[in-house]
Every structure is written in C-alpha cells, then in structure tokens.
Chain A
Amino acid sequence: MSDHRQDVQQMREAFAVALAEADGSDQLEALRVRFLGKKGELTSALKSLGRLPAEERPEAGAAWNALRGEIERALESAKSRFRLLEAEAEEHRQSVDVTQPGCGRPYGAFHPVVQVMHDVVDIFVGLGFSVASGPEIEDDFHNFEALNIPPHHPARDMQDTFYLERKGLLLRTHTSPVQVRSMLRHGAPLRVVCPGKVYRRDSDPTHSPMFHQLEGLLVDEDVSVADIKGCLEVFVNEIFGRPLKARYRSSFFPFTEPSMEMDVECVACSGRDSSCRICKGTGWLEIMGLGMVHPNVLRSGRIDPERYNGFAWGMGLDRIAMLKYGLNDLRVLFQGDAAFLSSGGVL
C-alpha cells in the first residue's frame, strides 16, 4: 500500500524537477515521451499494476491515473507558455526603433496672418456678424467717393493708391468699399465683417504694399459708441487670450463721425517696461480705427440715416498677427519663406 504511494510521489517529484529544467517545447516533448510514452515511466507503472494484489489495484490505479492527468495538464500549460515566449521572441526580432521619424509627410503649417484672419472672423461671427467679401480691384466710387472722400480731398493723401493701367480701376486701399457693397446688397439692419487683402503704395519694414485688413460694420436703430466699445473689447480679449485694458483717442476718418482710434495695453510688457520694443515704452499699442458710420456713407448704401445709424471699424490683421506671434518684420510674411513658415509649428 505505502509502496505505490511512495512510487507515485517519487515520480511526481521527478517530473516536477524535469519540468522546471525544461526551457523549450522540444524538451517538453522529451518529457512527454519519458513519462507518458509507450515505454514511458508512468506507462510502465500502469502496466505493472497487474502484479498487485486485486484489492490494492483500484486505489493504485487511481493514484497513477491522477498523476497522469497532472502531468498532461502541466505539459499542456507549459507548452502554451513556451508558445507565447517564442512568439514574443519573434516579435523582438521584428523590433523597430520607435524614436525614428514617422514615415510620410509631416503636418504642414499655417500662415500667421491667415490664421489670425480666421480667428478674428470666428470671434465676430460669435457676435452675430456675417462674413462679406468684395473685389480687390475696385473703382473710385466704392473705394473713395461712396465713403465720403471726394476727389482732391486731402484725406486721399492718407492712402497712396495703386492704379491700374485700365482706366478707372484701382487696387482697394482698405476693405471699407465692402461696407457700401454690403449695404446695397442687404440693407439694414446689418452686421458684417469683411476680411481681405488691401494695397497701398508704401514699402519699408513696417509697411508692405500689400497687407490684410478686416472691416466691420453694424447698422441698426439706436446704435451708440458704447456698442462698438463692447464689441471691440470682446474681440481684443479673445484674440490675445486675456483681458487687456483699452483706451480710445479721437481721430478722423472721412467715413465715420465721430472717429476714434483704439489702443490696448502692450501685449508684451503691459506698460511695465519703459524700453519695450513693441510699444516703444508707451505701454499702449494702436490697434485699429473705428467710429460711427457717417450719414453720407449710409446714404451711399441707400440706408436712411435718420432711421438707422451704425458703427464701423478697420483693423490691420498683419499687425495683430505680428503682435500675437511676436514677429517684427512685416515683409517676411509674404515671401513664402519655408524656414519661416515651418518654424511656426502647427495649430
């Protein structure tokens, strides 16, 4: 009785030792042959059961069969473990250097002025303004006369104009002509912004013969200076990402009355650096011109100035982009310079 128990236990231990030493599926097969094969140790033990007394046979048989089951399960589980290990070893052979660059084209790059244009448009769309557009090749009427700038008015000196050889055509000097076009098309009430390229005969580090403006126009009943202040302050805080102090100076534009210029606190130094390059130590940045629409302009747009009034503004998008992204040379913006464009990174 005690004999076969001892034998079973000895074989169990022998198998455990052998299994622990196995380090591949080949050795598992050898183990299987050694214990479970036709001439295997356990097979032989089962075969020798006949020699036992009849009353001992059932118990001994059960014990040896139980061991057989254990060995089979152990081999099976070791086998699947080795399969996983071998698969992983194969994966290691396929390993890549994850620090190598990705394959394919990198993301492109946005242009700071165009990006600002889209950002500004989004802000004003949120305030109920719709986008309007007009031609860059304009005529004298829309660019000047309809905006209360008669021929030979000294105000024309404010903007040096590019003329086309084809008589009567010019490159718009501001986006303001779109004001009149929008009023004629849509009437009042009206809320539009008009972004686009404009042209003036001027070229130095702070002036480009081509630059970008965004014009805004609101026409309604009972519009006050308070309304444009509110709109533009929302805009300034959004575009620069934080609340900025604003102030207004009286100014003159032929198409607005009263007219103002808006300054905001310096985005670089907030007025704390008297040698600031951006604000020249004044603490303030001139950001745009604005005012209440001149009744003559409303009339040009066939809107009754007694019933309606409104406000308008015009801002240089290039300047805002330069302030926002800390750029200092306007001309580099329009050269398609790959090093410059790609340095700006992505959105």
Chain B
Amino acid sequence: MLLSLRWLRELIDLPLDGSTLADRLTFTGTEVEGIGRPCEKLKGIVIARVTSLETHPSRSDLLLAHLDRGGRKALCVTAARNLSENDLVCYAPPGATLADGTVLGEREFAGVVSQGMVLSAEELGLPSVETEVGILVLPEGHEPGVDAVTSLGLDDEIFELSITPNRGDLLSVLGVAREVQALVPGSQIREFEVDLPRDEAVWPVGFKGITIADAGCPLYGLGFIDDITVAPSPLDARIRLALLGQRPISNIVDATNLTMLFLGQPLHAFDFDRLPEPEITVRGARQGEMIRTLDGKDRLLEEGDLLITSGGRPVGMAGVMGGENSEVHEGTVRVLMEAAWFDPVRVSRTSRRLGIASEAAYRFARVVDPARCLVSLNYVHSLLAGWGAGRPEARIQVSRQREWDLHEVTLTRKKLERYLLWDDLTEAETILYRLGFQAQSRQEDRLSFIVPSYRPDVRIEEDLIEEVARIRGYDDEIIPSRLPGRPKDRGDIGATFRLWRKLREAAMARGYMESVQYSFISPESIEAIGLGEDSEERLLLANPLSREQSVLRPLLLPGFIEALQANLRKGWRQALRLFECGDSYGGGDGLELFREKRRFGAIVFVGKERQVLYGTRRREDFFSVKADVDALFRACRVRPDYRPGKLPFGHAGQTAMIHVDGEAVGFLARLKPILEKELDLGGALYAFEFDLDVLLERDLPSFATEVPFPAVLRDVSFLAPRNVAVADVEAFIRSHGGAMLDKVELFDVYEGDSLPVGFRSLAFSLSYRHADRTLVDAEVEADHQVLREALESAGYRLR
C-alpha cells in the first residue's frame, strides 16, 4: 500500500523524519519496502501570476505571458491556449529542473526571448491531474514567488508499505496514524470529528429502504447526495491521488477513493436514477445469475456470492465491484453512497474466483472496522459538500443486523515471562494502551483488555504478547539470546538422511556430479522415452506454469535426459555423470505403481569425443556403470542381484533389473540406441535408478576374524552356451564344487569367431579351503574332478 507521509502528518504530530519513521515501522512489522519521492527532480519552480497576455508580434500561434513571480517580473512564450490573465501557474525560470530532468534556459522564439516556461501537469510529472489541454492553472490560495513544489505538496514522501494479511486496519492513513501513535512516543493523533447523525428516518425522495436478506452483510449504510455536478475534483485532491498512484476520475469517484484511503472503508456510489427501483436489497446470488461489472465484463455468479440488488436486479457485487448499470456517469444528479461491512470470507472467495483484485475487495477480505463504516459516509459527504459537488442529505439510512461484541483478552504475568523473560505488566499495559487496548479488570498477575474494533486479529493472549513484544523490540538488551536447555535426547540425523549422505559421497567419489532437477517435467519428455501409454498413472498439475512443467516425474530419467540435451546444446562433449537423490511420483515406469518414492537416479553419458585420453581404459560401458551401482549398494551394505530385464526405454540386450532380497528395486540399462539417435545424443547413455527405502536399516557387516588355513587354487575353463548367464554358471559351480569350495571368481570371458556359434568361453578361478586344516592337493583333486565331470555332463565343454 502507498502512504503519503504528508497526509499522515496532517493527521498526527510526528517528531520524526521519514526514514526514521520507516525504520520504526519496519521493525514493528509494517515493512517499508521503499520511500518514493515522485517529484524529486523538480527544482526551482515557483508560483507565478499571469499579469497580462499578448500575441507574439510575428507568430500568431504563440502568446507572450507576462508573469509576476512575487515582485519580480518574467516573460514567457507559450503555445497553450487555456491561459487567462490573473491565472496562477507554475513557472520554471531558467535554471529550474522539470520532472523529466530537463534543465531550462532562456530560449528565443522568433525574436522574443522566453525566460523559462509555464508548466503543464505533465511537465510537473503528474500527467493524470490534468483536466484540460495546456498549462496547469492553479486555484487561488497559492502565493506568487513561493516554491511551487512545497506549495502544491509535491515534496511528499510516499511510503511503500508491505502490510501483512492480519493487519487490515493499517490499510488507511488513519490506521497507520494509530499505529504510529503507539510506536512513536510524543506523537499524537489530531482530533478530527465528523458529525454522525443516528437518524434512521426515511428520506423524503421516495427511497423505499434497505432490505438485508443475507447474514453476510450485518451492517449496511446509505447516504444520499442530491444536486450533483459531476466535475473534476479540486487540484489538491487530484494531486494527492496522483502521488498515490491513483488516477483522478471525477469528484464523486475521487471522494470515495480518498475516503477509503483515509479511513479504510471502501465506499460505492450508485447513480440513484439508474437503479431499477428506489430500493436496495442485499442477498446471496443464485447459481448462474449474471452481472456486468463496471469494467464492462460479464460475470457468472455462484451461490455464496453476495449481491447488491435493486428491483430484483443485481447492481453490484458486494465489496468486490459495482455493476455497470448503476455506475455514476457525467450526467449523474443523485447518488446513493454505500458503506457496509461484508463478510470477509465471502468477499475473498468471490474476488479470488473471479480474479478481481479491487482495492475494496482487498480491504473487505482483511476485515474493515465496523465502527468506521458510518463515519466514512459522513466524511465523504463533507468532502463533496466542501467541494461544492452536491448537496448531501444530512441523515443516512442504516440497516444493522447485529452488534459487534466487545472482545476481551487476558494477559498474565506468567505467560509474559515465559515468552519474553520479562514480566512488567505495568509497562505492558502502557504499551497496549497506546495501541488502543483498554485495561478492563486488573488483578495482580493478570490484566484483561478490551480489543479495539479495528483489531480483529487480536484474539488470544499470545496476540497481546506479540503486540507488547513488537513495540519493545527483540534486541539483545530487551531479550537476550540463549540456547534452549533440557534436550530430551541427542539429535539424530535419521536413517534416510544418513543413507542419502552415504550415497552422495560414494557417488561423488566415483566421479558423479550432484544435480537437482525439477520435480515437474513435460509430457513430451516422458513420451520421448516410450513411457506414454500409462498416462492414467501420471500425476498432473491442475495449474502448471507451463506445459514443460506440468507432470510430476514418474522417474528421474526424463529430467536427466533433458539436462543432458541442454548440456550438449551448450557444447558439452565429454563424458557426463550426473546423479540426484530425490522423489519420483505416480506410477507406470514398469516397476510398480507408487505415489511418492525417494529415489536415487543417475546417468552416465559416454561422451562425444572420439579420442579418449588413455584409451579404452576410460571408456564407459555397461560394466563400468554396473561397478558404480555395486559400489553404491556396498556403501549401504547391501548386495544387489541383477536379472535381465525389459523396459520401454532399455536396450533389449543391456537392461537389468536390480533386485534386493528378491524384490525388484530399480534398473540399470543402456538407453535404446534408437532413442539415443532420436534424442540426438551422439553417444551411448546408461542410466540407473533405485528406491532408497529398501536400503534402510541394514545389519552391521560381519568381519572374518579367524586367520584361514591356506587355500588350494584350481582354474576351470569351458565353453558355455551364450544364453546361460554367468550368475547361473556360478551358481552351478557352487552347488557342485563340494563342501571345500570357497571362492568362485570369473577371470576371463571370451567371445569370438574362433568359437562355435552360440558359445562363449568362461574361465573361473576356484579356491578350495578347509576351516580346520591345510588341504593337500589330492583331496582337492577329487572334488575338483567331480565338479569337472558335472560341468561336462551339464553340457559345458571343458577346454
């Protein structure tokens, strides 16, 4: 909200400069985000009176204006046609600076030297206050020779306040003044009284009255203004609005806006003669009812919207926006001025649903002060009467459905001490008194306060404590810093986080870079890897920022691929290893259905460089990546199994499902080469992902503590059918190797043209060992021979 400091100072004596006040407000919860000085570039501009006007001797389109600038004379050449003798104007002599930073000098117009210029509203930096083309003519009351910036109030400082949602009461000059009075010792709000007649008699104009048919409007007041002349409002009102970023419109509209800015009560003016009937009814909208609001848009209403109607027809959306049909216009003669209290939730719901962020709705949603409601009608009446804009009816009509209860909240010494380590109830009372809280009942250790009507946010004792605390501040002299005592237990980083830490450290040690990807991805990135069909399992955002970020990722791979592509586009050519520990959402990746799972995912891109330093030793392949998966699992003390698998995006011959304790927990795969080509990667891409939860809470490893007796080593080498997995061969050897067989290690795999088709050569190193004694060759030989025969008869061809 923008606040005029000058306006504030009109209401409250303030022994502070603007920036000190801004600090004070900021520290007590009303952040001043900036202080604007809209006309700060204006310099040296003075008030002047046009003493005489004559036409330029050689150019009939120009006028010579003789000016009196307070005893000194000046001559200006102007093209404006709206000047008359005796007009007061803003005059910029040579050396003065205009709003856009232009510094004026003397300038010759066809033989006549113009000493500076007389100014338009735009040249003053306030184009919106202009009411006619040409020079801005000032009303009487400004003294020639005086600095125009001061005289017109253009030297104002405009505070940009960030008002928190609980403090609707601060959305007005009066509200801020009340706050400042509590913050700044020695400041005092000036009395301003507006007469408030309580007469609820019927007007003599044939108005049939107010009907309230909805509990959402417990208080509704109407003023009546007759003999209206719609015209621009006075210059000072227009300047005030312009400085606050509002566009002056007409005396009626400006008066309602100024009243709202001053007192916080939104008002609405109906053209009385355009109402369908001389009556107002407030009721709930019917489903499907329509209204055209004054911005020209047709709005579809729902049950629960609060409507102002006349003769059964909607004329306004209560607290949100008026209807076009009853809007004040140039020919308006009679106005009904509405001031009401509308249910904040109802206003908020309607304005959010329809996306109407009006100043009125903003204030109603933050709860207006019911006690200010009717006062504001009198204030707007007095403004309009003072401007000669119309003749307000002295009485106002009010429909009141209920009274507001006074709210009482108790503050105890005990709680004050607990929160603030400070228990001075007397000082607390002083602070609260300045904020408008009246102490009601007084006991030694507790005080009850009546909450002022404008502070509906204060409802419990903690609220009172905050009021006291924010005024006192939180500096160390007021409340020290200390560490909380009596912890129940040591802090525990927890199993999940511990696991994450192990994995990330292991992954980084193996050359992977940690990344964080967006949780939402594009549907295309999912389809790109062949996961399109299970779309009913996807979790879609109802209101995504863009299609690129509209689906919650079912697995980490699509994001990685997009990141890789982006890197390649930026010219990355080397191998790339990325990992992330993060959630995946929804189901349908071929593993199983799930909603939100903590996953570890990684990619290894082999790179586009044809030449790799140190040759093939550094070239990534399925097995170099598999070693990483093994290492990561080993870091978590888990031994994974790999089974050939099938995934929509997985290479038909290089895809493995990772199993732990018989359960599939993830995959390791090369991307299908056809996808690598479609995605234009220019190299092979390996990926693996697994769920973290299965790795949690593993047992401690057991170390071999006894020194073993020496082993006897034997090698066995044979041709095995290509389609028998090494894991199966190994299992066969173990089951036929006898009780003394200890270790089985593959040490050579050979496939080549020299071998029979469909076969490959495998060579294992076996170690036989006895737990209690050193073995002799002969014992091993017997067992080893049994194994060789078993292999032979199972179809393996020994070499």
Binding site for B on A (CB under 8 A): 101, 103-111, 113-115, 118, 121-122, 124-133, 135-137, 151-155, 157-158, 162-166, 169, 171, 189, 191, 197, 199, 201, 203, 209-210, 218, 220, 222-227, 229-231, 233-234, 247-252, 254, 257-260, 292, 294-295, 309, 333-339, 341-342, 346-347
Contact = CB atoms under 8 A, between A and B. Distances in A.
Contacts of A258: 419, 462, 465-466, 469-470
B474 interface: yes
A286 B167 CA distance: 21
B348 A234 contact: no
Contacts of A248: 473-475
20 contacts: A103-B618, A108-B508, A111-B515, A118-B501, A121-B497, A125-B492, A129-B491, A131-B497, A154-B165, A162-B544, A165-B542, A171-B541, A220-B486, A225-B421, A229-B479, A248-B473, A250-B469, A251-B29, A257-B463, A339-B567
Contacts of A250: 27-29, 466, 469-470, 474
Nearest to A227: B484
Contacts of A231: 483-484
Contacts of B31: 249, 251
B583 A341 contact: no
Given A130-B491, A154-B366, A226-B479, 5 more contacts: A108-B513, A130-B489, A191-B491, A224-B479, A225-B421
B701 interface: no
B518 A334 contact: yes
Interface in B336-375: 344-345, 348-349, 352, 365-366
Interface string B508-520: 1111111111111
A223 B484 contact: yes
B519 to A, nearest CB: 6
A201 to B, nearest CB: 6
B407 to A, nearest CB: 16
A135 B585 CA distance: 11
Interface in B506-563: 507-520, 539-545, 549, 552, 559-560, 562-563
Interface stretch (B88-96, B124-132, B190-198, B570-578): B570-578
A165 B541 contact: yes
Contacts of A226: 421, 479-482
B418 interface: yes
Nearest to B345: A152
B165 A158 contact: yes
A109 B505 CA distance: 10
Contacts of A210: 518-520
A230 B515 contact: no
A305 to B, nearest CB: 9
Contact of A338 (B460, B559, B578): B578
A183 B152 CA distance: 59
A41 B573 CA distance: 74
B493 interface: yes
Nearest to B519: A210
Interface in B567-603: 567, 570, 572, 576-579, 581-583, 585, 595-596
B628 to A, nearest CB: 9
Contacts, number: 266
A339 B614 CA distance: 23
B570 to A, nearest CB: 7
Contact of B514 (A101, A114, A169, A203): A114
Per CB-CB distance, the 10 closest pairs between chain A and chain B, nearest first, are: A336-B563, A105-B511, A250-B29, A252-B164, A258-B466, A128-B487, A250-B470, A125-B491, A248-B474, A154-B165
A115 B515 CA distance: 11
Nearest to A249: B27
A209 B165 contact: no
Contact of A222 (B352, B418, B493, B516): B418
B542 A336 contact: no
A341 B516 CA distance: 10
Contact of A295 (B460, B488, B596, B614): B460
Contacts of B462: 257-258, 292, 294-295
Contact of B167 (A113, A203, A252): A252
B726 interface: no
Interface string B213-233: 000000000000000000000
Given A118-B501, A164-B542, A338-B513, A107 B508 contact: yes
A339 B563 CA distance: 12
Query: Looking at chain A's contact residues, is the secondary structure mostly helix, strand, loop, or mixed?
Result: mixed
Nearest to B165: A154
Contacts of A229: 474, 479-482
B704 interface: no
Nearest to B624: A105
A117 B520 CA distance: 21
Interface of B: 26-29, 31, 164-168, 344-345, 348-349, 352, 365-366, 418-421, 460, 462-463, 465-466, 469-470, 473-475, 479-484, 486-494, 496-497, 501, 504, 507-520, 539-545, 549, 552, 559-560, 562-564, 566-567, 570, 572, 576-579, 581-583, 585, 595-596, 613-614, 617-618
A129 B349 CA distance: 40
Contacts of A127: 483, 491
Contacts of B460: 257, 295
A325 to B, nearest CB: 14
Nearest to A286: B31
B539 A137 contact: yes
Contacts of B517: 334, 336
A169 B541 CA distance: 10
B496 A338 contact: no
Contact of B541 (A164, A222, A247): A164
Contacts of A155: 165-166
Nearest to A259: B466
Contact of B567 (A197, A230, A338): A338
A56 to B, nearest CB: 64
A273 B728 CA distance: 70
Nearest to B585: A137
Nearest to A260: B474
Contacts of A101: 613
Contacts of B564: 336
B538 to A, nearest CB: 9
A157 B349 CA distance: 12
A201 B543 contact: yes
B563 to A, nearest CB: 3
Contact of B475 (A115, A122, A234, A247): A247
B623 to A, nearest CB: 14
Contacts of B488: 128, 189, 191
A227 B490 contact: no
B402 to A, nearest CB: 21
A249 B484 contact: no
Contacts of B349: 152
A319 B165 CA distance: 24
Contacts of B570: 337, 339
Nearest to B164: A252
A220 B585 CA distance: 36
Residue of A109, A155, A189 contacting most chain B CB atoms (<10 Å): A109
Given A103-B617, A226-B479, A227-B482, A109 B494 contact: no
Contacts of B470: 250, 258
B379 to A, nearest CB: 25
A132 B495 CA distance: 10
Nearest to A258: B466
A261 to B, nearest CB: 8
A247 B476 CA distance: 9
A100 B516 CA distance: 33
A122 B494 CA distance: 11
Contacts of B418: 222-224, 309
A161 to B, nearest CB: 8
A129 B614 CA distance: 49
B25 to A, nearest CB: 10
Contacts of A347: 508
A298 to B, nearest CB: 11
A191 B595 CA distance: 28
